[in-house]
Amino acid sequence: MTADVAIIGQGYVGLPLAKEATAVGLKVLGYDVSQRVVDGLNAGKSHVDDLSDQDIATMIEGGFRATTDPSELGQAKTIVICVPTPLSEDGGPDLGPVNSAVAAIAENLRPGMLIILESTTYPGTTDEVVRPVLEAGGLKAGEDFFLAFSPERIDPGNEKYGAKNTPKVVGGHTPVDTEKAAEFYGQFVDTVVRTKGTREAETAKLLENTYRHINIALVNEMARFCHDLDIDLWDVIEAAKTKPFGFQAFYPGPGVGGHCIPIDPNYLSYNVRAKLGYPFRFVELAQEINATMPAYVVQRAQNLLNETSKALKGSTVLLLGVTYKPNIADQRESPAVPLAQQLIAKGAEVQFHDPRVEEWFGVADAAQKIGDADLERAISEADITILVQKHREYDIDALAGLSQAFLDTSGKAQDGDKVERL
């Protein structure tokens, strides 16, 4: 089968992209190194929050197929790389998955192919890392094949914006490459935004997430001193956001999670230090502030227990919602993990409940899972309950009313004798 597009990586980015491409009649090949993922997809089973089993079945009916065979990449007219780029030990991006994907493409590269990198990374990756490997066989980017970068902008769990209606930024190795990529995405994305080149497209994604990272750090720091000054920050934000210009509301929380906010700004900081020799101080300070929020939540919980003459050591602490954001099952970089680890280190007995999590990775052996049927009893018996993520399944005020003490990191609970908001 000749594929219109092969998408490398069938996770939270690649699979929604495959869905939209299939919906307009493109023949899509989904490539992944995980046999489990591929077998599940070919059996019509989804493993990401935003797609149902029915979505996968519809995709298969439209010609979608998944494979672990890299030789099949040679059948595709366009190849899109959607693999993860975690942080390495030195704080830079781990390009191992990207390098593996590019090597597989290089072995199957044909004249006329369009290659697009979507994986978030530092500026220059497309031109300095991807292009030399692809050109090693003699074909030239912009002449024999086409090369572009288009940052992924998937927001898991977002019910308003998805792959189709989120504007797609594209930047090519040459203007011709840019137009080829824009033409490809224009088939199934409502709006395509062109940049001058690959570096501008790479940096645009980092700017977006650095902006969020820094502003989240700002309100997280304000949460601390507003609490000490007896100022209701949540009320402050509600008042400030009534201004119709010049302000965007950000909210404090137990820490940042997911693949983007805690990781992507570090790519930019790493690149600035490596290439220019000086720090990106805004990013590094924001990282420092956001990384300390789990410890701050522990401190606030300890203070609440002290008010009832209880020590944190030996107390039962129930965590509600352990994913990295509400209404999804994704646990990547969830701040609930360091929160639980620090509670356990201080001698607390940690329990957790999450309607979307079967197994909590990272602290599964040290935290007791509470089932749905036992939730109300567990809340009433726990010395303190901490709402980490406000899943829609939670009636926050009802749960707070059952608790002995309730620390709400979401700011949604009504004030009360037993309730304290972050």
Per-residue DSSP letters for 174-212? Answer: SHHHHHHHHHHHTTT-S-EEE-SSHHHHHHHHHHHHHHH
Which tokens hold the place of 264?
């992507």
Burial 268-291 (b: 16+ CB within 10 A, else e): bbbbbeeeeeeebeebbebbebbe
Euclidean distance between CA atoms 66 and 248, whole angstroms: 41
Q: What is the pLDDT of residue 269?
A: 79
User: Taking residues 307-312, what's their average pLDDT?
Assistant: 94
Q: What is the pLDDT of residue 392?
A: 93
Continuous segment of H or E residues that includes residue 370: none
Q: What is the pLDDT of residue 352?
A: 96
Q: What is the pLDDT of residue 275?
A: 81
pLDDT exceeds cutoff 90 at 107: yes
Alpha helix segments (H runs only) across 241-360: 264-276, 281-291, 293-307, 336-345
**Residue holding tokens 């001193």?**
225
Q: What is the pLDDT of residue 168?
A: 97
Q: What is the pLDDT of residue 297?
A: 97
Q: Using alpha carbons only, what angle is made at residue 162 by residues 156 and 163, rounded to the nearest 5 degrees?
A: 110
> To the nearest whole number, what is the mean pLDDT of the chain?
93
Please report the DSSP string for 227-264 in residue order.
HHTT--HHHHHHHHTTSSSS-------S---SSSTTTH
Q: What is the pTM of this model?
A: 0.89
Evaluate whether the domain defined by 3-195 bears CATH number 3.40.50.720: yes
Most confident of 96-105, 156-165, 276-285: 96-105
User: Taking residues 201-218, what's their average pLDDT?
Assistant: 93
Displacement of CA 408 from its chain's centroid (Å): 22
Q: What is the pLDDT of residue 91?
A: 67
Residue 417 pLDDT class (50, 70, 90 cuts): confident
Fold of 292-421: Rossmann fold (3.40.50)
pLDDT exceeds cutoff 70 at 1: no
The partner residues of 416 in beta bridges, in order of sequence, read 419
CA-closest candidate to residue 310, choices 319, 318, 301:
301
Q: What φ, ψ does residue 363 adopt, rounded to 5°? A: -135, 25
Is the separation of the CB atoms in 364 and 351 below 8 Å? no
Q: What φ, ψ does residue 421 adopt, rounded to 5°? A: -95, 150
Q: Looking at the annotation, which residues are catalytic? A: 260
Euclidean distance between CA atoms 28 and 30, whole angstroms: 6
Q: What is the pLDDT of residue 158?
A: 85
Domains 3-195 and 292-421 alike in fold: yes
Is the separation of the CB atoms in 26 and 4 below 8 Å? yes
**Residue holding tokens 């002290």?**
306
User: Taking residues 261-285, what's their average pLDDT?
Assistant: 80
Per residue in 73-90, pLDDT tens? 999 999 999 999 887 777
Q: Domain segments of the chain: what residues?
A: 3-195, 292-421
Crossing angle between the packed helical segments 293-307 and 198-228, to the nearest 10 degrees: 20
Q: What is the pLDDT of residue 363?
A: 79
